[in-house]
């Protein structure tokens, strides 16, 4: 590979400069080439950053290196650990400008690659925006590399302030905001008080991986590194991962910021089933809440912050935020000699599920992707709820119903995650047959039939409204059915009348034909009479004439 230079531009505060440069250097280490770091603008590179560059085998230079493949980025943006490697591998002579897309609807953070064969004006640009503008002027197309995300801020962001007082947690009956606690209060029964006051992180994030989508895993990890609220811990569950892939997974975790590495636990699981890694992760989870972020999904930098705000408003309830849907196809890219599976986007991400939670609707089918919810610790520890390991699908819906039916749900309509829907060659929807999904749905509904589900006033009113609407629809159907029956009866009467009229018409037609036949016969008879009368008259006349001549003759003889 040709030489590669990383050009960083954009404003950066002094206290963030070193952290930003170190994050980029860490990513640049993944590129196999002679590497150079170019920092544009009036900015000095600190001694610590220079030492890190030397340790990474990167030369820090002040000017652009002629003939090098140029990678662009904003100094205060955090790249995915493999973003630069993907860009370097993806840029080619016929793709002179390649841009890594950012979070949906966010145009602030991008990074791109300019191939050495690009026009001079493009190669000499000191920022990605300038390179794109020059490319447009030169008629050079800018392409997008699928499956890589750059999240604004991230590990280079300032450490958030410490959280406030810890909200209560524990058994749902002991937390005032839960449905069970309110039911006990309404009935005058006593309820327990939270007994566990152990200081805990707010959120335990569980990430399942099989080590086969390393690029996607690193995207998910990058999203976690970019969180605006860091009151979390990460449990990565390596589920039946091959030894070489496990090494690669651990290497990816080693690229995380120090603060997140210190809070990361790796759990290796060999049991089969989608729920096995989740249950093993629950056994080591310390957070007041638990959320699942699989290795092929993405979350915004405010994902944890949104959950934390919801906990403060209603501790102990299930927390939920809206989710975007992104259809993706499996795309193969080569990174450092290794074939990687990337998620190639198809179309734009869009709101794919209701932004508000309805327990009534969820009794029928699931409308909440996995990463959109955070489950309270009381459900897992105090009630002992677990993921059903006999389910090959719908394990998230199953546990959500059990939790929501006791604790209730508090939601936010703001999308904070992207659920990737894979095409037919990837993902759980294609890995399991339709009858497997059907069996999962039947098992969830069968379990639900044996449980008591609590509905708050709003959900009860929703059920009443649905019942009234259904009654109105049924009444309308009955009214339409009655009209149809009357119309059918009227139609039968009309048909009977038509049949009678047709019979009468047929009889009339027969009578008319008979009359016409008689008339024709009569006409023939009359014609025959008229034809024979002159002959008879002539014959009679002849007879009369004979008689006269004879008489005359007789008379003559007598004279």
Q: What is the DSSP string of 468-532?
A: HHHHHHHHHHHHHHHHHHHHHHHHHHHHHHHHHHHHHHHHHHHHHHHHHHHHHHHHHHHHHHHHH
Query: In CATH, what number does 4-150 get?
Result: 3.90.550
DSSP state of 168: P
Tokens found for residue 225: 């590194």
Domain ranges (residues) in the chain: 4-150, 166-455
Q: Do domains 4-150 and 166-455 have the same CATH topology?
A: yes
User: What band does 180 get if pLDDT is binned at 50, 70 and 90?
Assistant: very high
Top CATH class, 166-455: alpha beta
Q: Is the pLDDT of residue 429 over 70?
A: no
Question: Burial level of 113, CB count in 10 A (0-12/13-18/19+)?
Answer: buried
Tell me, rounded to whole angstroms, the distance of Cα 519 from its chain centroid: 85
Q: What is the pLDDT of residue 232?
A: 96
Which among 77, 95, 87 is positioned nearest to 35, based on CA atoms? 87
Residue 39 is encoded by which pair of tokens? 């920092």
Among 156-160, 168-172, 247-251, name the one with the lowest average pLDDT.
Answer: 156-160
**Range name among 208-212, 354-358, 486-490, 549-553 with the lowest pLDDT average:** 549-553
pTM score of the predicted model: 0.78
The closest of 206, 221, 199, 341 to 266, measured between CA atoms, is 206
**Burial class, 535, CB count within 10 angstroms (exposed 0-12 / middle 13-18 / buried 19+):** exposed
Q: Are strands 203-209 and 232-239 parallel, antiparallel or unpaired?
A: parallel
Max CA pair span of the chain: 186
Residue of 61, 83, 81 lying closest to 128 (CA atoms): 83
Q: Which of 213, 173, 228 is nearest to 82 (CA)?
A: 213
Distance between CA atoms of residues 95 and 62, nearest Å: 27
User: Mean pLDDT throughout 82-87?
Assistant: 80
Residue 552 has pLDDT above 50, yes or no: no
Residues composing the chain: 559
- State the pLDDT at residue 391: 87
Residues 6+ apart with CB under 8 A from 263: 201, 232, 233, 234
Non-local CB neighbours of 549 within 8 Å, separated by 6+ positions: none
According to the model, what pLDDT value does residue 32 have?
77
Q: Tokens for 518?
A: 């008689």
Residue-wise pLDDT tens digits, 31-71? 877 888 888 765 677 888 888 888 888 988 888 888 888 99
Tell me, what's the pLDDT at 400?
96
Q: Are 208 and 278 within 8 A, CB to CB?
A: yes
DSSP 457: H
Supply the mean pLDDT for the chain.
83
DSSP codes of every residue in 26-71 = HHHTTS-S-EEEEE-SS-PPPHHHHHHHHHTTEEEESSPPTTPEEE
> Using one digit for the tens of pLDDT, what is the confidence trace for 298-344?
998 899 999 999 999 999 999 999 999 999 988 887 776 778 888 88
Check residue 26 and give its pLDDT: 78
- CA-CA distance, 164 to 311, in Å (whole number)? 12
Task: Give the least confident one: 154-163, 366-375, 442-451.
Answer: 154-163
Place of tokens 């958030």: 160
Q: How far out from the chain centre does Cα 124 lie?
A: 41
368 CB-contact burial (10 Å; exposed 0-12 / middle 13-18 / buried 19+):
buried
């Amino acid at each position: 590979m040709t030489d590669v230079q990383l050009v960083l531009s954009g404003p950066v505060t002094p206290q963030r400069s070193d952290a930003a440069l170190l994050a980029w250097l860490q990513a640049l280490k993944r590129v196999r080439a002679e590497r150079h770091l170019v920092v544009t603008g009036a900015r000095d590179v600190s001694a610590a950053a220079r030492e890190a560059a030397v340790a990474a085998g990167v030369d820090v230079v002040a000017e652009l290196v002629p003939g090098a493949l140029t990678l662009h980025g904003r100094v205060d943006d955090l790249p995915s650990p493999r973003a630069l490697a993907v860009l370097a591998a993806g840029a080619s002579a016929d793709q002179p400008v390649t841009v890594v897309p950012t979070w949906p609807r966010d145009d602030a953070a991008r990074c791109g690659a300019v191939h050495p064969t690009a026009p001079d004006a493009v190669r000499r640009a000191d920022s990605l925006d300038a390179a794109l503008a020059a490319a447009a002027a030169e008629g050079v197309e800018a392409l997008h590399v699928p499956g890589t995300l750059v999240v604004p801020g991230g590990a280079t962001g300032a450490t958030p302030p410490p959280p406030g007082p810890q909200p209560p947690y524990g058994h749902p009956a002991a937390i005032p905001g839960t449905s069970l606690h309110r039911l006990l209060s309404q009935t005058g029964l006593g309820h327990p008080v939270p007994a566990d006051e152990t200081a805990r992180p707010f959120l335990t994030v569980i990430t399942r991986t099989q080590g086969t989508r390393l690029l996607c895993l690193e995207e998910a990890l990058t999203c976690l590194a970019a969180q605006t609220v860091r009151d979390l811990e990460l449990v990565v569950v390596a589920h039946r991962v091959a030894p070489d892939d496990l090494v690669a997974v651990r290497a990816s975790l080693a690229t995380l910021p120090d603060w997140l590495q210190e809070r990361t636990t790796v759990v290796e699981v060999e049991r089969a089933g989608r729920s096995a890694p989740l249950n093993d992760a629950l056994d080591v989870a310390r957070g007041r809440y638990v959320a699942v972020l699989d290795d092929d999904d993405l979350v915004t930098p405010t994902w944890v912050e949104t959950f934390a705000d919801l906990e403060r408003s209603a501790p102990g309830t299930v927390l939920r935020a809206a989710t975007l849907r992104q259809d993706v196809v499996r795309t193969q890219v080569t990174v450092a000699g290794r074939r990687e599976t990337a998620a190639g986007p198809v179309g734009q991400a869009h709101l794919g599920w209701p932004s508000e939670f309805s327990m009534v609707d969820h009794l029928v089918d699931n409308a909440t992707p996995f990463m959109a919810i955070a489950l309270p610790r009381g459900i897992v520890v105090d009630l002992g709820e677990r993921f059903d390991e006999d389910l090959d699908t719908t394990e998230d819906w199953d546990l959500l119903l059990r939790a929501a039916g006791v604790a209730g749900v508090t939601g936010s309509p703001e999308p904070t995650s992207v659920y990737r829907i894979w095409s037919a060659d990837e993902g759980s929807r294609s890995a399991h047959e339709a009858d497997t999904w059907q069996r999962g749905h039947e098992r969830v509904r069968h379990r639900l039939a044996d449980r008591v589900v609590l509905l708050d006033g709003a959900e009860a009113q929703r059920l009443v409204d649905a019942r009234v609407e259904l009654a109105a629809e049924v009444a309308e159907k009955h009214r339409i059915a009655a009209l149809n029956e009357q119309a059918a009866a009227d139609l039968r009467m009309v048909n009977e009348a038509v049949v009678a009229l047709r019979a009468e018409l047929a009889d009339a037609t027969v009578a008319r034909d008979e009359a016409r036949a008689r008339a024709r016969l009569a006409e023939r008879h009359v014609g025959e009479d008229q034809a024979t009368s002159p002959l008879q008259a002539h014959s009679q006349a002849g007879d009369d004439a004979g008689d006269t001549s004879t008489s005359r003759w007789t008379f003559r003889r007598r004279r």
